[in-house]
Protein backbone atom coordinates (compact mmCIF):
# COMPACT_ATOMS: atom_id res chain seq x y z
CA UNK A 1 0.00 0.00 0.00
CA UNK A 2 2.88 2.33 0.87
CA UNK A 3 4.39 1.81 -2.60
CA UNK A 4 1.06 2.43 -4.33
CA UNK A 5 0.60 5.67 -2.39
CA UNK A 6 4.18 6.78 -3.22
CA UNK A 7 3.50 6.13 -6.94
CA UNK A 8 0.39 8.27 -6.77
CA UNK A 9 2.30 11.05 -5.04
CA UNK A 10 4.82 11.11 -7.92
CA UNK A 11 1.94 11.44 -10.39
CA UNK A 12 0.15 14.12 -8.37
CA UNK A 13 3.32 16.17 -8.04
CA UNK A 14 3.42 16.51 -11.82
CA UNK A 15 -0.34 16.94 -12.24
CA UNK A 16 -0.78 20.49 -13.50
CA UNK A 17 -4.51 20.35 -12.86
CA UNK A 18 -3.83 19.70 -9.15
CA UNK A 19 -1.51 22.72 -8.90
CA UNK A 20 -3.97 24.94 -10.75
CA UNK A 21 -6.75 23.59 -8.53
CA UNK A 22 -4.84 24.46 -5.35
CA UNK A 23 -4.21 27.92 -6.74
CA UNK A 24 -7.92 28.42 -7.52
CA UNK A 25 -8.97 27.19 -4.07
CA UNK A 26 -6.51 29.61 -2.43
CA UNK A 27 -7.63 32.43 -4.69
CA UNK A 28 -11.26 32.34 -3.44
CA UNK A 29 -10.57 33.80 0.06
CA UNK A 30 -7.87 36.06 -1.39
CA UNK A 31 -10.41 37.44 -3.84
CA UNK A 32 -12.93 37.96 -1.05
CA UNK A 33 -10.33 39.78 1.09
CA UNK A 34 -9.56 42.06 -1.85
CA UNK A 35 -13.30 42.51 -2.45
CA UNK A 36 -13.89 43.61 1.16
CA UNK A 37 -10.87 45.92 1.15
CA UNK A 38 -11.46 47.58 -2.21
CA UNK A 39 -15.05 47.16 -3.39
CA UNK A 40 -17.27 46.59 -0.37
CA UNK A 41 -15.62 47.90 2.85
CA UNK A 42 -18.98 48.09 4.64
CA UNK A 43 -19.62 44.36 4.52
CA UNK A 44 -20.15 42.81 7.97
CA UNK A 45 -18.10 39.91 9.35
CA UNK A 46 -20.83 37.23 9.14
CA UNK A 47 -21.92 38.37 5.69
CA UNK A 48 -18.33 38.21 4.47
CA UNK A 49 -17.79 34.77 6.00
CA UNK A 50 -20.97 33.38 4.41
CA UNK A 51 -19.99 34.81 1.02
CA UNK A 52 -16.63 33.04 1.23
CA UNK A 53 -18.41 29.84 2.25
CA UNK A 54 -20.84 30.10 -0.67
CA UNK A 55 -18.07 30.61 -3.21
CA UNK A 56 -16.16 27.80 -1.59
CA UNK A 57 -19.20 25.51 -1.78
CA UNK A 58 -19.55 26.21 -5.48
CA UNK A 59 -15.93 26.14 -6.63
CA UNK A 60 -14.32 23.50 -4.40
CA UNK A 61 -16.34 20.53 -5.72
CA UNK A 62 -15.73 21.66 -9.31
CA UNK A 63 -11.97 21.84 -8.84
CA UNK A 64 -12.01 18.59 -6.89
CA UNK A 65 -13.90 16.77 -9.65
CA UNK A 66 -11.62 18.16 -12.35
CA UNK A 67 -8.51 17.01 -10.50
CA UNK A 68 -9.61 13.41 -10.05
CA UNK A 69 -10.94 13.34 -13.61
CA UNK A 70 -7.61 14.47 -15.04
CA UNK A 71 -5.76 12.00 -12.83
CA UNK A 72 -7.89 8.98 -13.76
CA UNK A 73 -8.44 9.90 -17.39
CA UNK A 74 -4.67 10.14 -17.94
CA UNK A 75 -4.31 6.50 -16.90
CA UNK A 76 -6.64 5.44 -19.70
CA UNK A 77 -5.54 8.02 -22.26
CA UNK A 78 -1.83 7.21 -21.88
CA UNK A 79 -2.79 3.52 -21.61
CA UNK A 80 -0.67 3.21 -18.47
CA UNK A 81 -3.63 1.40 -16.98
CA UNK A 82 -2.52 -1.66 -19.00
CA UNK A 83 0.84 -1.68 -17.19
CA UNK A 84 -0.96 -1.22 -13.91
CA UNK A 85 -3.46 -3.99 -14.53
CA UNK A 86 -0.68 -6.41 -15.48
CA UNK A 87 1.50 -5.46 -12.49
CA UNK A 88 1.27 -7.65 -9.39
CA UNK A 89 -0.51 -4.94 -7.43
CA UNK A 90 -4.07 -5.40 -6.26
CA UNK A 91 -6.64 -3.19 -7.91
CA UNK A 92 -8.08 -2.34 -4.50
CA UNK A 93 -4.71 -0.97 -3.40
CA UNK A 94 -4.29 0.98 -6.61
CA UNK A 95 -7.68 2.66 -6.32
CA UNK A 96 -7.37 3.17 -2.56
CA UNK A 97 -3.98 4.81 -3.08
CA UNK A 98 -5.61 7.14 -5.61
CA UNK A 99 -8.32 8.03 -3.09
CA UNK A 100 -5.77 8.60 -0.31
CA UNK A 101 -3.52 10.87 -2.38
CA UNK A 102 -6.51 12.67 -3.86
CA UNK A 103 -7.73 13.33 -0.31
CA UNK A 104 -4.25 14.46 0.81
CA UNK A 105 -4.15 16.98 -2.02
CA UNK A 106 -7.66 18.13 -1.10
CA UNK A 107 -6.74 18.41 2.58
CA UNK A 108 -3.65 20.52 1.83
CA UNK A 109 -5.64 22.74 -0.53
CA UNK A 110 -8.55 23.39 1.80
CA UNK A 111 -6.24 23.88 4.82
CA UNK A 112 -4.39 26.52 2.80
CA UNK A 113 -7.74 28.12 1.97
CA UNK A 114 -8.78 28.09 5.64
CA UNK A 115 -5.51 29.68 6.73
CA UNK A 116 -6.17 32.48 4.25
CA UNK A 117 -9.75 32.85 5.56
CA UNK A 118 -8.47 33.16 9.14
CA UNK A 119 -5.80 35.63 8.03
CA UNK A 120 -8.54 37.56 6.21
CA UNK A 121 -10.63 37.68 9.39
CA UNK A 122 -7.61 38.97 11.30
CA UNK A 123 -6.92 41.71 8.76
CA UNK A 124 -10.51 42.72 7.98
CA UNK A 125 -12.35 42.19 11.29
CA UNK A 126 -9.96 42.65 14.23
CA UNK A 127 -12.89 43.13 16.64
CA UNK A 128 -14.59 39.89 15.64
CA UNK A 129 -11.30 38.00 15.59
CA UNK A 130 -11.95 36.00 18.76
CA UNK A 131 -11.17 32.39 19.58
CA UNK A 132 -14.87 31.55 19.64
CA UNK A 133 -15.55 33.11 16.25
CA UNK A 134 -12.50 31.53 14.63
CA UNK A 135 -13.35 28.13 16.05
CA UNK A 136 -16.82 28.46 14.56
CA UNK A 137 -15.47 29.59 11.19
CA UNK A 138 -12.90 26.79 11.06
CA UNK A 139 -15.36 24.09 12.07
CA UNK A 140 -17.90 25.36 9.54
CA UNK A 141 -15.39 25.39 6.67
CA UNK A 142 -13.72 22.12 7.66
CA UNK A 143 -17.02 20.28 7.94
CA UNK A 144 -18.28 21.72 4.67
CA UNK A 145 -15.04 20.91 2.82
CA UNK A 146 -14.75 17.43 4.30
CA UNK A 147 -18.36 16.53 3.47
CA UNK A 148 -17.94 18.03 0.03
CA UNK A 149 -15.05 15.63 -0.61
CA UNK A 150 -17.07 12.62 0.55
CA UNK A 151 -19.99 13.36 -1.76
CA UNK A 152 -17.43 13.83 -4.55
CA UNK A 153 -16.22 10.21 -4.27
CA UNK A 154 -18.88 8.89 -6.71
CA UNK A 155 -17.00 10.95 -9.34
CA UNK A 156 -14.27 8.32 -8.99
CA UNK A 157 -16.78 5.66 -10.02
CA UNK A 158 -17.73 7.71 -13.10
CA UNK A 159 -14.04 8.20 -13.91
CA UNK A 160 -13.46 4.43 -13.80
CA UNK A 161 -16.51 3.77 -15.97
CA UNK A 162 -15.86 6.51 -18.52
CA UNK A 163 -12.22 5.38 -19.02
CA UNK A 164 -10.58 7.72 -21.58
CA UNK A 165 -13.56 10.07 -21.76
CA UNK A 166 -13.85 13.05 -19.47
CA UNK A 167 -17.16 14.81 -20.06
CA UNK A 168 -19.43 12.46 -18.04
CA UNK A 169 -17.46 13.11 -14.85
CA UNK A 170 -17.18 16.82 -15.69
CA UNK A 171 -20.95 17.04 -16.03
CA UNK A 172 -21.45 15.11 -12.82
CA UNK A 173 -18.99 17.44 -11.09
CA UNK A 174 -20.86 20.52 -12.27
CA UNK A 175 -24.17 18.94 -11.24
CA UNK A 176 -22.78 18.12 -7.82
CA UNK A 177 -21.50 21.69 -7.35
CA UNK A 178 -24.85 23.19 -8.39
CA UNK A 179 -26.71 20.92 -5.96
CA UNK A 180 -24.33 21.82 -3.14
CA UNK A 181 -24.81 25.53 -3.82
CA UNK A 182 -28.59 25.01 -4.10
CA UNK A 183 -28.51 23.44 -0.64
CA UNK A 184 -27.68 26.88 0.79
CA UNK A 185 -31.00 28.22 -0.51
CA UNK A 186 -33.30 25.43 0.70
CA UNK A 187 -36.46 26.58 2.48
CA UNK A 188 -37.52 25.15 5.82
CA UNK A 189 -40.27 22.94 4.33
CA UNK A 190 -37.81 21.21 2.03
CA UNK A 191 -35.10 20.68 4.59
CA UNK A 192 -35.81 16.95 5.12
CA UNK A 193 -35.63 15.97 1.42
CA UNK A 194 -32.55 18.17 1.13
CA UNK A 195 -30.96 16.25 4.00
CA UNK A 196 -31.60 12.99 2.19
CA UNK A 197 -29.95 14.18 -1.04
CA UNK A 198 -26.21 13.87 -0.22
CA UNK A 199 -25.12 16.89 -2.26
CA UNK A 200 -27.60 19.35 -0.76
CA UNK A 201 -26.98 17.73 2.62
CA UNK A 202 -23.42 19.11 2.57
CA UNK A 203 -24.73 22.70 2.78
CA UNK A 204 -27.61 21.82 5.10
CA UNK A 205 -25.22 20.23 7.60
CA UNK A 206 -23.51 23.61 8.01
CA UNK A 207 -26.77 25.43 8.62
CA UNK A 208 -28.38 23.11 11.16
CA UNK A 209 -26.74 22.75 14.55
CA UNK A 210 -24.15 20.06 15.34
CA UNK A 211 -25.67 16.88 16.71
CA UNK A 212 -29.26 17.77 15.76
CA UNK A 213 -31.51 15.26 14.06
CA UNK A 214 -31.10 16.94 10.67
CA UNK A 215 -27.33 17.02 11.08
CA UNK A 216 -27.35 13.29 11.81
CA UNK A 217 -29.45 12.56 8.72
CA UNK A 218 -27.07 14.68 6.62
CA UNK A 219 -24.01 12.88 8.01
CA UNK A 220 -25.51 9.44 7.39
CA UNK A 221 -26.59 10.36 3.84
CA UNK A 222 -23.19 11.82 2.99
CA UNK A 223 -21.31 8.86 4.46
CA UNK A 224 -23.48 6.33 2.62
CA UNK A 225 -22.97 8.27 -0.61
CA UNK A 226 -19.18 8.19 -0.17
CA UNK A 227 -19.13 4.48 0.72
CA UNK A 228 -21.37 3.52 -2.21
CA UNK A 229 -19.25 5.66 -4.53
CA UNK A 230 -16.00 4.02 -3.48
CA UNK A 231 -17.33 0.46 -3.41
CA UNK A 232 -18.91 1.05 -6.83
CA UNK A 233 -15.59 2.35 -8.17
CA UNK A 234 -13.76 -0.69 -6.74
CA UNK A 235 -16.22 -3.19 -8.18
CA UNK A 236 -16.23 -1.46 -11.55
CA UNK A 237 -12.42 -1.29 -11.62
CA UNK A 238 -12.07 -4.96 -10.63
CA UNK A 239 -14.39 -5.99 -13.44
CA UNK A 240 -12.52 -3.93 -15.97
CA UNK A 241 -10.48 -5.79 -18.55
CA UNK A 242 -8.50 -3.15 -20.41
Partner 1 sequence: MHVRKGRIYGLLGRNGAGKTTIIGSTIESPSFYSNLTATENLLIFSRLRGKVNENKICDALGVVGLPYQDKKIFSKYSLGMKQRLAIANAIKNDPELLILDEPTNGLDPIGIAEMRMLIRRLSHECGKTILISSHQLSEMEQMVDWIGIIHEGRMLEECSYQQLEENRHSYIRLIVKEPEQVYEYLKKTLSIENIKRPEASVIEIYDLKYGTLELNSRLFAAGFAVAEISKCQNSLEDYFKELTGGAGIA
Total of chain residues touching partner 1, rule CB under 8 A: 22
Q: How far is the CB of 242 from partner 1 (least distance, A)?
A: 10
Binding residues among 170-199 for partner 1 as defined by CB under 8 A: none
Of 82, 119, 210, 212, which lies in the binding site for partner 1, with binding defined by CB under 8 A?
A: 82
Q: Which residue, among 11, 14, 20, has the nearest Cα to 81 in the 3D structure?
A: 11
Choice from 39, 42, 88, 241 touching partner 1 (CB under 8 A): 88
> Do 112 and 22 touch, CB atoms closer than 8 A?
yes
Residue 33 has phi, psi (to 5 degrees) of -65, -45
Q: Is 111 exposed, middle or buried (0-12, 13-18, 19+ CB in 10 A)?
A: middle
Burial class (CB in 10 A: 0-12, 13-18, 19+), 77: middle
Identify which of residues 3 and 130 has a Cβ nearer to partner 1 in the complex.
Answer: 3
Q: How far is the CB of 53 from partner 1 (least distance, A)?
A: 34
Shortest separation between residue 171's beta carbon and partner 1, angstroms: 25
Q: Is residue 183 within 8 Å of residue 190, measured between CB atoms?
A: no
The smaller minimum CB distance to partner 1, of residues 81 and 150, is found at 81
Task: Give the separation between CA 125 and CA 122, rounded to whole angstroms.
Answer: 6
Considering just the CA atoms, what is the radius of gyration of the chain in Å? 19
Site for partner 1 in 8-37 (CB under 8 A): 10-11, 14-16
Minimum Å distance from CB 164 to partner 1? 12
Spatial distance between the Cα atoms of 139 and 161, rounded to a whole number of angstroms: 35
Give me the least distance between CB of 169 and partner 1, in Å please. Answer: 19
73 binds partner 1 (CB under 8 A): no
Which one of residues 89, 138, 165, 174 is an interface residue with partner 1 (CB under 8 A)?
A: 89
Distance CA 190, CA 195 (A): 9
Tell the smallest beta-carbon distance from residue 85 to partner 1 (Å): 10
Q: Tell me if 74 contacts partner 1 by CB under 8 A.
A: yes
Q: Which of 179, 7, 159 is nearest to 83 (CA)?
A: 7
Kindly give, in sequence order, each residue whose CB lies less than 8 Å from that of residue 58, ignoring residues fewer than 6 positions away: 177, 180, 181
Does 164 help bind partner 1 (rule: CB under 8 A)? Answer: no
User: Is residue 7 involved in binding partner 1 (CB under 8 A)?
Assistant: yes
| Interaction of residue 3 with partner 1, rule CB under 8 A | yes
Q: Which residues bind to partner 1, rule: CB under 8 A?
A: 3-4, 6-7, 10-11, 14-16, 74, 78-84, 86-89, 94
Amino acid sequence: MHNAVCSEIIKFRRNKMAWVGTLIIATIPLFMIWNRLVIDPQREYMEWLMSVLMLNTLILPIVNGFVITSNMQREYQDRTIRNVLTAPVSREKFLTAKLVVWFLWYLISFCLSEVIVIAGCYILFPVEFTTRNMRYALSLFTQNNFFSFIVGIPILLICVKQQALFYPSMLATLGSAVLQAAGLQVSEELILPACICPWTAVSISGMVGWGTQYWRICTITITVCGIIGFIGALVSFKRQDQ
